[in-house]
């Protein structure tokens, strides 16, 4: 049963935990917005865009610091109130194992994606017509060179170029996904090695 002195503390903990939860949701939104900004502003040297990216990165760093401070404070109060035991090596290993499991699951999911992107790129290539459109004098019934200059619709040659460019970009995206899998796998192995050393056991095979 909580004493009258513990009630305000519990209320304060609850209030700050709600703030932390909202902060994490907002963090995800800011991170997603940063991805979009990087996508549309890639290669643009305009100072305003550089400032926006830098401010966004600062906001994410500050959000991470705030979350850490809030979490540390909540844990300290709970330990002082006897609600949880101080952290142990076993508890740390359990948390790190959980993180490793989530990363491993993410790697398994991402591992299926490159083949799908590559297949879509191949589908684009297969749809390309054989050969290139003729570039000689216009035949009867065909548009003249002057008419083609004023025609803003994409030519078959331009369509081929756009399709091939897109297919190459998608192949690059598939390669980047493969790198993501390697990164996640390496991270999982590093965590397993660390937790194995903490607990005195061999790293788990994932």
pLDDT in tens, 57-98: 888 888 888 888 887 887 777 777 666 555 667 777 887 888
| pLDDT of amino acid 39 | 81
Q: pLDDT tens digits, residue range 90-132?
A: 777 887 888 888 888 888 888 888 899 889 988 888 887 665 4
| pLDDT of amino acid 204 | 47
Answer whether 0.75 is exceeded by the pTM. no
Give the mean pLDDT of 176-180. 86
The residue assigned the tokens 């980047």 is 176
Separation CA 186–CA 106 (nearest Å): 13
| pLDDT of amino acid 84 | 56
Separation CA 184–CA 109 (nearest Å): 11
| pLDDT of amino acid 136 | 47
* Cα dihedral 36/41/43/49 (nearest 10): -130
- Averaged pLDDT of the chain: 76
Residues with Cβ within 8 Å of residue 43, at least 6 apart in sequence: none
Look at residue 152 and give its three-state secondary structure: coil
């Amino acid at each position: 049963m909580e004493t009258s002195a513990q009630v305000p503390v519990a209320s304060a903990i609850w209030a700050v935990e709600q703030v932390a939860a909202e902060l994490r949701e907002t963090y995800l939104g800011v991170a997603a917005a940063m991805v979009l900004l990087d996508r549309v502003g890639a290669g643009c040297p305009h100072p305003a865009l550089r400032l926006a990216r830098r401010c966004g990165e600062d906001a994410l760093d500050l959000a991470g610091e705030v979350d850490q401070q809030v979490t540390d404070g909540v844990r300290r109060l709970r330990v002082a109130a006897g609600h949880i035991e101080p952290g142990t090596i076993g508890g740390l290993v359990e948390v790190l194992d959980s993180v490793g499991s989530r990363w491993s699951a993410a790697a398994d999911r991402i591992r299926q994606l490159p083949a799908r992107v590559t297949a879509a790129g191949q589908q684009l290539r297969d749809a390309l017509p054989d050969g290139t459109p003729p570039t000689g004098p216009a035949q009867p019934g065909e548009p003249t060179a002057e008419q083609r200059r004023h025609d803003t619709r994409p030519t078959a040659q331009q369509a081929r170029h756009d399709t091939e460019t897109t297919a190459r970009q998608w192949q690059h995206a598939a390669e980047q996904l493969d790198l993501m899998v390697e990164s996640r796998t390496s991270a999982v192995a590093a965590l397993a090695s660390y937790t194995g050393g903490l607990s005195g056991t061999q790293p788990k095979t994932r």
